[in-house]
Amino acid sequence: MKMSYVKKSVLTAACIALCVVLPMAFHAIPNSGSVLSPMHIPVLLCGMICGGPFGLLCGLAGPFLSSIITRMPPMAYLPGMMIELAVYGLVTGLMMQLVHTGKIYADLYISLIISQLAGRIVAGIANALIFSVGSYSIAAWAGGYFITAWPGLVIQLLLLPTIVFALERARLIPVRYPKQR
Amino acid sequence: MSIELKQVSCSYNFRTKQEILALNGISMKIEDGEFVGIMGHTGSGKSTLVQLIAGLIRPNSGQVFLDGKDINERGYDRNNLHRQVGIVFQNPEYQLFETTVAKDVAFGLKHSGLRKEEACERVRQALEQMGFSYDDIADASPFALSGGEKRRVAIAGVLAARPKTLIFDEPIAGLDPEGRRQFLELVRKLNREGVSILMVSHHADSICACAERVLVLEQGSLVLDGSPKAVFADLERTSRLHIGASQPRQIAELLIQSGIPFSRDIVRYEDLLDELKNRWKGGTRCE
Amino acid sequence: MNDILKGRYIPGDSFLHRRNGTAKLLAFFMILAAVLTTDSVPGYLLIAAVSAAAAAMSEMRPTKTLGQVRHLRLFFLMLFLMNAFFYEDGQAGGLVLWSWGIVHLSVPGMIQGTHVVLRILFLMVFCNVLIRTTPPVQITTAIETLIAPLRLIRVPTAEVAMILSVALQFIPVFAQEADLIKKAQTARGAKFESERLRDRAASVVPLLVPIFLSAFRRADDLATAMEARGYGHRQTNGRGRSQRAAVQLPDVCLFLFSCLFFLVQAAR
């Protein structure tokens, strides 16, 4: 089973909508926003399932719509966040295409870790440039950004496979490695 | 357990320009073990009412008492509340999330402090109540089940906590006639075992078949409160309130309109049948 | 529940409310460029004047245009300090007040920090004016119009427009469903908070998995319905295109004015 272009488009739309809805749903739960980064999950998932270009679109449109509708993230953070999420969506999509180890866990983890590294580094540099903090501190800024974000990374490594498996079992997305009969 | 509402008002977007009043000064009391049907037009406040009782939203004014205790007071044990009052929403199958059926049903027992064997036993019983064989289904993935099975698993997840009050919000929407019959049988059985039931439904037949008391809401106010017979006595009124009437009641009304003297107390199929049987005997006697 | 889609838009009938979304967005971009090129006191005074004018044209109280700035106090403070302590760009000769390792508290750094903070503050003012006078649907429509030329470099802009409009339709539906799922799990005794990192991940699974499943189920249904009606095969029919307001003379003036503003700032 391969997904049609229309289906990928509509799933991307759903992921964009979730970028707006999830932060709202988690808003009332203390501290969840800062550690959980609920907006990252639909973007990563979109890249994984629909491919890099769709993931890229989701990463750009998700935070943008969320910001104009719910003010999360605040405007000042928006450009950096759009760049970060766009890289996540694009890189996970590409990695899932490139990496085929035969084990879904391995594929997921490799794609997730590489995309998160890429996204955080690019976003760190972008933020440093946007806020023009001076050439010296780019590395410091990027490094700090990376260190503060690592708990979110761990949480996503735990959550994403769970969601992917549930979606596969509910036959809402194609199974990556169908069991041979 | 008894439920009491005192002058409860509730609105969405409270204190903003777009404030919508969902409930307007409702007072009522539901005794232990009652079977109450809740009816009303879309947007009349039915869902808000049951969610208030389940402690899922807070009123803007007024109090909700369970067994005489204000549930919105500071220090009220909310975990206890959630254990005592179970709520099944429309499409409860959307709440499934675990990897196996047994784990999903046991989810509500996680924070209850029950021993493992006791929790396991409750899961088994809840699944069997919903017509499953525990050993067949316990390790299946809930997402691989059919729609009807998913719904029954989800209801089992609420039953496992053994609530003393059970709320159903539009439980029969989307069920086929056989599923509906089985469902109504189940709630009646639970009610006989002493569980208070609150059932929100548009379906007058089901409400008439089970409930001993019907509450009718209109634009956030409680406009009717009485037995099904009393509530459905005046069909003009019920159609104005958008709650319709059960089939037997409509049949009776048609007969009356066509000149046949017939009782307006008929709301259930059993009533209709009894009346017809009486007539049949009476008829043969008369002629 | 459709209220969500109004977002932070405040209904009104001011001069800016009545402007075409595309014109407003273009003007916003020009002003953005103007703000980013500003680095002198008269420049900032001019920006302040323009932002006061924008507030007046949208009939908003000037204080309202600042919006959430209060919540970002720390962010701005950090931004300033980062610049003050780390700014160093080769053009030596700046007065260094204090120095330790790679950390230098310098006068040019403090000036640079002030610039950055001021620019971002003014950007937020203009952004707030835009968002409070333009409903989200109009903003996405404007984006659709603006990205249309990208078709020349083979970006499927019609599809992007379709995806954005479908996403907007999904938002209120998903929000309602997420709310219901949260209530259902709370009633079952779920706890969504936890101290330990691992538990915290586990505690949101009962919320996250059903929300994704129901969202994907709806998306799946819609995709099937769209395919059944023959949508697809990369055709560019009108679906997703929202009604567009006609461009009027004041819209053009607004845009031209913003261009002028940019040129004045850049030429300085």
Give C82-104 pLDDT, tens digit per residue.
Answer: 777 776 654 455 666 676 666 67
Contacts of A131 in chain C (CB under 8 A): 79, 82, 116, 120
Q: Which residue of C has its CA nearest to B51?
A: C183
Give the whole-angstrom CA distance, residue C179 versus residue C172. Answer: 11
CATH of the domain at B223: 3.40.50.300
| C-alpha torsion A56→A58→A61→A63, nearest 10 | -110
Is there a contact between A170 and B99 if contact means CB atoms under 8 Å apart? no
3-state secondary structure of A103: coil
C235's tokens = 């055709």
Q: Compute the nearest-CA separation of B56 from chain C (Å).
A: 6
For residue B180, being part of any structural domain is answered with no
Residue C1 pLDDT > 50: no
pLDDT of residue A28: 65
Q: What is the pLDDT of residue A136?
A: 46
Residue of higher predicted confidence among A152 and A116: A116
Q: Is the pLDDT at A168 greater than 50, yes or no?
A: yes
Chains with 3+ CB–CB pairs under 8 A to A are: B, C
CA distance A167 to chain B (A): 8
Higher pLDDT, C86 or B99: B99
Contacts C102 to A, Cβ<8 Å: 136
CA pseudo-torsion sign C127, C129, C131, C135: negative
B167, B82 contact by CB (below 8 A): no
| Statement: residue A35 has pLDDT above 70 | no
Q: For tokens 């229309």, name the residue.
A: A6
Q: Give the C-alpha separation, C44 to C119, whole Å.
A: 9
Question: Kind and range of the H or E element at B167?
Answer: strand B165-169
Chain A 18-77, CB below 8 Å of chain C: which residues? 18, 20-22, 24-26, 29-32, 35-36, 41-42, 45, 57, 61, 65, 68-71, 74-77
Per-residue DSSP letter, C4: G
pLDDT above 70 for C3: no
Share of residues in chain B with pLDDT > 70 (%): 96
pLDDT at C238: 46
Among candidate residues B123, B60, B56, the one with its CA nearest the CA of residue B88: B56
Mutate to test the interface with A, among B143, B146, B149, B150 (most CBs of A within 10 A): B143
> B26 forms bridges with which residues in the sheet?
B8
Task: Say how many C-beta atoms besides its own lie within 10 A of residue B148's C-beta.
Answer: 15
Contact C108, C94 (CB under 8 A): yes
> Which of the four CATH numbers 3.40.50.300, 1.10.10.10, 1.10.1760.20, 3.40.50.970 does domain A5-26+37-169 have?
1.10.1760.20
Say which residue the tokens 């698993």 belong to. Answer: B153
Q: Shortest Cα distance from C233 to chain B (angstroms)? A: 31
Find the CB nearest B108 among C177, C183, C189: C189
> What was the pLDDT predicted at B216?
92
Chain B residues near any Cβ of chain C (below 8 Å): 13, 18, 51, 54, 56, 79, 82-83, 85-87, 89, 92, 94-97, 107-112, 143, 157-158, 161
- Look at chain B and report how many structural domains it folds into: 3
Percent over 90 (pLDDT), chain C: 7
CB neighbourhood size of A31 (10 A): 10
C163 in contact with chain B, both atoms CB, cutoff 8 A: no
Calculate mean pLDDT across residues A126-147: 62
Q: Does the pLDDT of residue C152 top 70, yes or no?
A: yes
Residue B187: inside a domain: no
Asked if the model's pLDDT at residue C68 lies above 70, the reply is no
B4 and B66 both lie in a single domain: yes
Is there a contact between B108 and C209 if contact means CB atoms under 8 Å apart?
Answer: no
B82 shares a domain with B3: yes
Provide, as residue numbers in chain A, all residues whose Cβ is less than 8 Å from the Cβ of C82.
Answer: 131, 133-134, 137, 141
Q: Summarize the confidence of residues B198-219 as an average pLDDT.
A: 91
Chain B nearest CA to C213, separation (Å): 8
Alpha-helix residue ranges (DSSP H) falling in A28-137: 32-36, 40-50, 52-70, 78-98, 104-130
Tell me which residue in A7, A75, A162 faces C127 most closely, judged by beta carbons.
A75
Residues A82, A88, A91, CA angle at the centre, nearest 5°? 130
Q: Tokens 């409310």 identify what position? A: C17
- The whole-angstrom separation of Cα C126 and Cα C94 is 33
Mean pLDDT for the stretch of residues A54-83: 86
For B207-218, what is the mean pLDDT? 91
Name the least confident of B64-73, B187-196, C94-103, C151-160.
Answer: C94-103
Q: Are C23 and C247 in contact (CB under 8 A)?
A: yes
Integer Cα distance of B283 and C107 in angstroms? 109
pLDDT in tens, B14-69: 666 667 788 888 999 999 999 999 999 988 889 899 999 998 888 888 899 988 88
Distance separating alpha carbons of residues A61 and A13, to the nearest angstrom: 9
Please say if the pLDDT value at position B105 is more than 80.
yes
Q: Across residues A54-62, what is the average pLDDT?
A: 94
Q: Which chain C residues are closer than 8 Å to B86 by Cβ?
A: 187-188
Chain B residues with beta carbon closer than 8 angstroms to that of A169: 141, 143-144
Looking at every residue in chain A, the average pLDDT score rounds to 82
Higher pLDDT, A42 or C99: A42
Q: Which helix (H) or strand (E) holds B141?
A: none
**pLDDT average, residue stretch A50-72:** 89
Q: What's the CA gap between A137 and A143, in Å, rounded?
A: 10
Q: Which residue of C has its CA nearest to B19?
A: C3
- Look up the domain containing B268 and give its range: 246-287
Residue given tokens 């160093």 in the structure block: C88
Query: Do B146 and B266 share a domain, yes or no?
Result: no
One domain, residues B32 and B78: yes
- Residue to mutate among A158, A169, A175, with most B CBs inside 10 A, is A169
- Rounded Cα distance between C156 and C233, Å, is 12
Which has more confidence, A30 or B196? B196
Whether pLDDT at C22 is above 70 = yes
DSSP reduced 3-state for B261: coil
Other Cβ atoms closer than 10 A to B266: 25
Question: CB distance A169–B97 less than 8 Å?
Answer: no
At C11 the three-state DSSP class reads coil
Please tell me whether residues B81 and B50 are part of one structural domain. yes
Side chain identity, residue C54: A
Cβ distance B108 to C188 less than 8 Å, yes or no, reads yes
- Give whole-number Cα distances, B15 to B144, B207, C1, C7, in Å: 45, 36, 17, 18
Residues B136 and B104 reside in one and the same domain: yes
pLDDT at B265 over 90: no
Q: Write out the H or E segment, with its range, that includes residue B214.
A: strand B213-218
Amino acid at A89: G
Residue of C nearest to A169 (CA): C213
Strand arrangement, sheet containing B221-226: B85-88, B165-169, B196-200, B35-40, B213-218, B221-226
CB contact under 8 A, A25 and C131: no
**Which residues of chain B neighbour C180 with C-beta distances below 8 Å?**
89, 94
Which residues are CB-contacts of C81 (< 8 A; sequence separation ≥ 6)?
Answer: C113
Q: How far is CA C170 from CA A15, C92, C135, C163, C220, in A?
A: 10, 55, 16, 10, 12
Domain ranges of chain A: 5-26+37-169
Percent with pLDDT over 70 in chain C:
79
Amino acid in position A132: S
Query: CB-based burial of residue C242 (10 Å sphere; 0-12 exposed, 13-18 middle, 19+ buried)?
Result: middle
Please list every residue in chain A whose beta carbon sits closer than 8 Å to the beta carbon of residue C182.
Answer: 25
Residue bearing tokens 């719904």: B151
Pairing of strands B196-200, B213-218: unpaired
The residue count of chain C comes to: 268
Q: Cβ contact (<8 Å) for B56 and C188?
A: no
Residue B10 is inside which H or E element, if any? strand B3-12
User: Average pLDDT, stretch B175-204?
Assistant: 90
Question: ipTM surpassing 0.90, yes or no?
Answer: no
Count contacts between A and C (CB, < 8 Å). 202
Average pLDDT, chain C: 79
Within 8 A of A166 by CB-CB distance, chain B residues are: 97, 143
Which residue's structure tokens are 């049951």? B50
- The pLDDT tens digits for B146-187 are 888 899 999 999 999 889 999 999 888 878 888 888 899 999
Residue at B233 is within a domain: no
CA distance C188 to B163: 10
Band the pLDDT of C189: cuts 50, 70, 90: confident
